[in-house]
Amino acid sequence: MEFDLELDLGGAACPVPTLKTKVALLQMGRGEVLRVRVTNPRSAETIPRELKEEGELVGWYAEEGSYYIYLRRR
């Protein structure tokens, strides 16, 4: 999947990934896609749920202990 910006937040504990993802989304243009990499399963669940107003979940996958979340800026 194509994306406009990537955040690598591997190793960061909640709530840091959610907060940094929100800041990044708010700086992006409408329709742009943000790819976020986290290693904390809780963050992988929390980010899409907590940031529904800022970004629409357009995809995700898990690979080798990392979770990749794709959010489109609303």
Query: Which residue from 21, 7, 5, 10 is spatially nearest to 53, judged by alpha carbons?
Result: 21
Q: What is the pLDDT of residue 9?
A: 98
| Confidence at residue 43, expressed as pLDDT on a 0 to 100 scale | 97
pLDDT tens-digit readout, 5-60: 999 999 999 999 999 999 999 999 999 999 999 999 999 999 999 999 999 999 99
- The CATH superfamily label for domain 5-73 reads TusA-like domain (3.30.110.40)
Domain boundaries, the chain: 5-73
Predicted pLDDT at 2: 96
Distances (CA, A) of 48 to 34, 67: 12, 12
